[in-house]
Amino acid sequence: MKNILILTGRYKPNMSANSICIDNVIKKLPKDEYAVTCICYEDYQKVIDSSVDVHKVSRGYIKSFIYKHEKTNNKFARIWLKILKSIDKFLLLCHTPIWPWTDCLFTKKEFKLADKLQKEKNFDYVIAVHMPLSSIIVGKKLKVKYPDICFIPYFLDSLSGGRPLSVFSDSWNLKKKLKWERKILPFADKIVVMEASRAHNEKYSSECDYYKKLIYLDIPLLTNTAISKPESNIFNNGKINVVFAGTANYPMRNFAYFINVVDEIFNLCGDKIAFHIIGQSNCVAMFKKNNVEYHLPVAHNQLGEYLNSADVLINFGVKTPSAISGKIFEYMSYAKPIISTYSIDNEACIPYLKKYPVALLVDENVSDYRRQAERIIKFINDSIGKKIDINEIRSLFKNNLPETFIECVIREVY
């Protein structure tokens, strides 16, 4: 029996996007071969999962209050939440000298717990999931103290190629993050990175000794979740339902463009096509349209009911070339038609969606909203009811299977 320690951010039941990915890997591990322990953020949500030994570590008063009251309707608590979130943002700037490491005290507590568990369980592997950076730092410290551990940093989000801190220049961000990579990664046994970051890594890290340890995989969100037809449609509105599930923040994603196109769709065919936005958002007011409905975030284990009831799934592109939206692979698991917008020619999702059997790419640089609306309506009408073979998808996107991580990373170590 091999013992694995997972270091991640927010885990069950309200998992971060990266924790959803590593959880998919955990689910595919043979239970008679591997025992999994996980250290994650204390978010005051009870974990009900006997297959993983979960240990939660507090991030301090501010984060604790935010996690405890994030879903509250209490007016006083909402005001206090707003104040604390502002203070939290200010404290991030105080970490400028060591950016992007922003949680020194948490890191210290996490390492102390990991060290204690190591003495009890003698881990064979430590898989450190970035983000947060603290996971990678703790993994490196364990490797230094216990050299026999196999240390595997897992970059679902690129560190040096990730989204920069906007108050500083891109060159400043790159320099700070590369410094951290070159401080930590020489201690790794294997380094798992995403295919979307290949060009960035080749440019900035190919001459580093640790570059030969890189394994290029992809977001492991392609699972066996597709269901041929739901017994009941959660929307139950007699319309064609187009669904987005994820963080709906502007201007990270260009929802202003989307709304202009949606207005034209409504002018052309009324409310026959309904758009649903599900998730955290800083621009809810934008979604107050006749054919748009905003839904508050739902737990990931409840999200499948919405995705499976959708007729079409929609993704919105970002402007960071090395950042890929993992949700497109989760979408693919449902074998549904996919629409995706983009604003840069090297948007990471484009090559994947060009291979996907039923997908439409919408260029946000095209200002003719009527034309884009007509393209979307035609695509929806043409693709409704079109059968997509999930086995074909799994074959096309093998590196997005959780099983591939296990075969290429864990089983290949020894």
User: Closest Cα to residue 53, out of 77, 67, 34, 25?
Assistant: 34
Q: Residue 243 corresponds to which tokens in the numbers above?
A: 């669904």
Do 245 and 279 touch, CB atoms closer than 8 A? yes
Tokens describing residue 40: 């994650």
Closest CA to 21 of 389, 324, 296, 350: 324
CA angle 392, 355, 387 (to 5 degrees): 45
Residue with tokens 């071969």: 33
DSSP state of 146: -
Which helix (DSSP H) or strand (DSSP E) does residue 155 occupy?
Answer: strand 150-155
Closest Cα partner for 336 from 276, 390, 272, 378? 390
Per-residue pLDDT tens, the chain, 414 aa: give them.
999 999 999 999 889 989 999 999 999 999 999 999 999 999 998 888 888 999 999 999 999 999 988 878 888 888 998 899 899 988 888 888 999 999 999 999 999 999 999 999 999 999 999 999 999 999 999 999 999 999 999 999 999 988 777 778 889 999 999 999 999 999 999 999 999 899 999 999 999 999 999 999 999 999 876 555 556 688 888 899 999 998 889 988 999 999 999 999 999 999 999 999 999 899 999 998 889 999 988 888 888 899 999 999 999 988 877 777 888 999 999 999 999 999 999 888 999 999 999 999 999 999 999 999 999 999 999 998 787 888 899 999 999 999 999 999 998 654
Amino acid found at 56: K
Answer for the pair 136, 153: CB distance below 8 angstroms, yes or no.
yes
Continuous H helices in 74-164: 75-94, 104-121, 133-145
Q: How many CA atoms lie within 13 A of 317 on its CB side?
A: 26
